[in-house]
Structure formats: structure tokens, C-alpha cells
Amino acid sequence: MTTKNTAPILEKLTNSRLFYPLLALGIILLLDTIFIPDFFSIQIRNGDLYGRVIDIMRNASTVMVLALGMTLVIATGGIDLSVGGVMAIAASVAAIMMNPVIVGMELPADLMKFMNDPNFTYSPLWEVIIVSLIVALICGAWNGFLVAYMKIQPMVGTLILMIAGRGIAQLITNGVRIQIFYKPYAFLGQGWIILPISLYLAIILFVLIWMLTRKTSIGMFIESVGINPKASFYSGISEKKIKMLAYMICGLCAGIAGLIASSNIKTSDANNIGLTIELDAILAVVIGGTSMAGGRFSLLASLIGALVIQAITTSMYALGVPAFALQAVKGFVVIFVIFLYAEPVRQVFRKLTVKKAEKA
């Protein structure tokens, strides 16, 4: 009696999109508890929580934000390589607005005195955020324009901003790494209210995008464009507009990630902000089970994918693996994930579960 019930539940579980990412996260955390002492210890300081697990969530927030946008783009059958470049642009715009010393604008005479005041800024916080996000949105729109309207391959079209983005960011800041002194801005990446602020930002963004895609028909449209653009065109879905929207959301997410990253390090480091982070974002989506060929997507699974990557990174650092060698570990994870999701391997799995059910 009991076996008959558990088999369908097992099947249901393995068929769920969240199963594999959660399994991966579980395995990694399990290994961590075995090999790294005090991995789960959490301290409370001034009412805020600190610890390795919290660190994982805080450091993952940038990739989580990126993975949300990337999921939509990949679901349309595209890819966005430019997120790192857009992050650098957004960070540079934000930094130059708060601290425009180096561009030789006409500044108040007592500016240098204000430099020591942590609450001094040249433009208010809301202005900084809105302008840099608008710039990021424009970058996303440019990608969308190239892919949807110019019909350039997504990989090639977004490669432009990936390479040129850092150059543009350098141009904005005149090639200088601008220090950010403004405290409320630093709060975005470094602040805590029980949990890190950046984590809240990622969760709020997730809820917003989830509502946009799952409470309206936009999510379904994106999936249909990813599965078969022609068929969806004939059924009255504007393929171009949907693609444009996906790339714009991805640009916006990259902008937010750029703000978080720059406030975390308190500079606009155009050369290093978000370097190779596009790979992490894509990897997060792949681990989340969204097919690279487009089609069905799950935002929550991508978030868990981002957590998986960060958990691997943090545990590797805790084990003392050097940063560069970490790449190899990530590569092996990708190969492993590929194996799990590959159709022939899945068929073997399915056969196994079916046989079990038959035996029962």
C-alpha cells in the first residue's frame, strides 16, 4: 500500500522543475556540513544575522538578480552576454552622478569639504537610481533592437555591448575609478535589516517579475516565442515586441545588479565590475533547468541555480581552493548538470522509475 503511494509521489517530485536544483543545493550543503566545521553557524550582532549561509545569500544576490532577466531572455531562445558590460555602465553612471569631481563640471566651491560628510551627494539617491536604471534599460533596448528587429544572432548582437560596454563605462568616468562616499547608496549593497538589503532587493525583483510573467499572459507569450516563433507569430503574438521586452527586462536587471555591486565595493570599477558574471548568470539559468533552446522557464529555479553557484564558490573558498582553479570546478558542475538534463540520460532515469513503479 505504502509503496504504491510513494512511487507516484517520487515521480511527481522528479518531474518538478525545482527538484534537480534543490537536490544539487542539498548535496552541496550536505557536503559542506561534513567537510567544513561551523558552516551553518549564525551569529546575531545588533539584531542582524551573520554567518556563512547568510554570506552565500548576500553574495548570490547579484547573480540572482541577473539570472531573473537572463531566464526571460533564454526562454525566448536568446542569450544576453552583455550583462557584465551593462553592470559596469550602470555603476559608472551612478558613481559619476554622486561624485562628479573628475569630469570637471562646475562644482560648488566647498565640495571638497563635503567629501568628508558621508551624507553628501551631488544628486539625490532616487535620482541616481532612476537615471542609471534608465541607462541600463536603454542598453537592454539596444540589445533587443539588434536581436528582434535587425535579426542578428543573439550571441553576436549582445557581444557588442559585452565588449564595448566596458569601454563606454570607461568613457563615462574618464577612465578613473570613482570612489563613492555617499552612505545611503552604500546601504544598497552593504546594509542589513536582519538580513542583507541586497537579498531583499533580489526577492522584491523576483516577486515583481513573477507577477509580470505569471499573473499576466506575458510569461506564456515568452514561452511560446521560445518554443516556436513562427507559430506564435501566426497566432497573433508579436514576436519582436516580446523579445524586445525580454531584453529590456534583462538590461534593467543588469542595471540593478550593477548598483548592488558598485555599492558593495564603493567604487565604479569599470574594468572589473561584473567581469565574467554573464557566465555565472547563464549557468544559474541552466542549473535551473530552463532549456538553452528556449521555451518553458522557471524564475524560482533560476534563483536556486544562483544559490547553487554561490554555495559552490563559498564552500570552495572555505576549503582553500584558489580563485582561478575554481573555474575548473564550475566547469565540471556544468558538465554534470548537462548530463543530468540531457535527453538520453533522462530517458534512462525515466525507465528506472517506471520499472520501479511496475515492480511495486
Partner 1 sequence: MRNKIAAFINKNRQFIPVMSTALLAVLAYTIGAIFYPGMRNPQVFFNIFRNNSFLLISAVGMTLVILTGGIDLSVSGMIALTTVSTAALLREGVDSWLVFLLMLLMGSLLGLIMGSIIAFLKVQPFIATLAGMWITRGLCFFISDDAISISNRTIEQISRIRIYIPGVTEAFEVAGKIPPYVSISVAVAFIIYISGIYISRYTRFGRTVYAIGGNEGRNEQSARLMGLPVTTTKVLVYTINGFCSGLAGIFFAVFVTSGHGLYATGLEMDVIASVVMGGTMLTGGSGYVFGTIFGVFILGLTQTLIQFNGSLSSWWTKVVIGVLTLIFIGVQSLLKQSKGGRRKGRALSGQALADHRKKRLITIGIIAGFAVMIGIILLAPKLGNQDGTQTTAQSGKCELQVFRQEQVPALIESGATIVYERNGGPNCVDELFAIYPDGRITGTNGKTDIEKQITIPDYELLLAGLVDNGWFTDELYDTWHTPCRQCYGYYLTVIKDGQVKTVKGVDGGTDAPAIYWQIISLVKGAVPKFDVSE
Whole-angstrom Cα distance, residue 170 to residue 88? 9
Residues in contact with partner 1, counted by CB under 8 A, come to a total of 33
How far is residue 41 from each of residues 50, 51, 54, measured CA to CA in Å?
9, 6, 10
Nearer to partner 1 (CB atom), residue 108 or residue 344: 344
Q: Could you give the string, one character per residue 297-336, with x where binding to partner 1 holds by CB under 8 A and - elsewhere?
A: -------------------------x-xxxxxxxxx-xx-
Residue of 27, 231, 345, 352 interacting with partner 1 (CB under 8 A)? 345
Note whether 279 binds partner 1 by CB under 8 A. Answer: yes
Q: Check residue 16 and report its DSSP letter.
A: S
Nearer to partner 1 (CB atom), residue 35 or residue 339: 339
The piece of 20-28, 53-61, 105-113, 153-161 that touches partner 1 (CB under 8 A) is 153-161
The piece of 26-34, 161-169, 177-185, 244-252 that touches partner 1 (CB under 8 A) is 161-169
Note whether 282 binds partner 1 by CB under 8 A. Answer: yes
Note whether 176 binds partner 1 by CB under 8 A. Answer: no
The piece of 7-15, 52-60, 160-168, 235-243 that touches partner 1 (CB under 8 A) is 160-168
Smallest gap from residue 357 Cβ to partner 1 (A) = 26
Q: At what angle do helices 19-35 and 2-15 cross, to 10 degrees?
A: 100
Note whether 152 binds partner 1 by CB under 8 A. Answer: yes
The piece of 44-52, 151-159, 211-219, 233-241 that touches partner 1 (CB under 8 A) is 151-159
Q: Identify whether the C-beta of residue 122 lies closer than 8 Å to the C-beta of residue 180.
A: no
Separate counts of helices (H) and strands (E) for the chain: 16, 6
Longest dimension (CA), the chain: 84
Smallest gap from residue 344 Cβ to partner 1 (A) = 6
Residue of 5, 153, 216, 347 interacting with partner 1 (CB under 8 A)? 153
Whole-angstrom Cα distance, residue 129 to residue 259? 8
The residues, ordered by sequence, that sit 6+ positions from 232 with a Cβ below 8 Å of its Cβ are 221, 224, 225, 239
How far is residue 288 from each of residues 223, 299, 355, measured CA to CA in Å?
15, 8, 27
The residues, ordered by sequence, that sit 6+ positions from 130 with a Cβ below 8 Å of its Cβ are none
